[in-house]
Amino acid sequence: MKLGKLELQILEALWAHGKASIREIQEAFPEPRPAYTTIQTTVYRLEGKKAVRRVRKIGNAHIFEPIVARDVTRHRLLDEILSFFGGRPQPMMAQLAEAGKLTLADVRELEKTMKKLTLERKGESK
């Protein structure tokens, strides 16, 4: 399932709130917010993609909740991004560094995470 930027932003609002009406989703956006009808159309599109569902109706307002998990969506998005770099992380990291979005502090933090994951995996395989 491919998701556009606005769709991902709407899902972020729903992941943060759990359940929300279209108005509440719109209010989660910083100013200048997208129009109510834009959010509404996009939520309905997400419903068609089986990413969100209506859970109940309060007055005239439908309440929506996400069906797709945040971590699953992030993994899919990351795989999609990596495909632009031949499926390899190194060219992507080089691009991030060139753009000033990856610092040495980030690399050191990543190194700590990699060491921790390696130790955890060794512990699991015993």
Instruction: For residue range 13-68, list pLDDT tens digits in order.
Output: 999 999 999 999 999 999 999 999 999 999 999 999 999 999 999 999 999 999 99
> The domain that contains 29 carries what CATH number?
1.10.10.10
Per-residue model confidence (pLDDT) at position 2: 84
Q: Are residues 23 and 56 in the same domain?
A: yes
Q: Are residues 49 and 102 in the same domain?
A: no
* pTM, entire model: 0.77
Give me the number of domains the chain comprises.
2
Q: Are residues 52 and 90 in the same domain?
A: no
On whether residue 28 sits in a domain, the answer given is yes
C-beta atoms surrounding 43 within 10 Å: 25
126: pLDDT confidence band, cut at 50, 70 and 90? low
Q: Whole-number mean pLDDT of the chain?
A: 93
Q: Are residues 12 and 54 in the same domain?
A: yes
On whether residue 45 sits in a domain, the answer given is yes
Per-residue model confidence (pLDDT) at position 124: 79
Asked if residue 16 lies in contact with residue 33, where contact means CB atoms within 8 angstroms, the answer is: no
Range of the domain at 90: 84-125
Q: Are residues 15 and 62 in the same domain?
A: yes
DSSP letters for 67-105: -S-HHHHHHHHHHHHHHTTTT-HHHHHHHHHHTT---HH
Cα separation, 92 vs 70, in Å, equals: 22
Average pLDDT, stretch 69-81?
92
Q: Are residues 54 and 9 in the same domain?
A: yes
Average pLDDT, stretch 98-118?
94
- pLDDT at 1 exceeding the cut of 80: no
C-beta atoms surrounding 42 within 10 Å: 19
Asked if residue 96 lies in contact with residue 81, where contact means CB atoms within 8 angstroms, the answer is: no
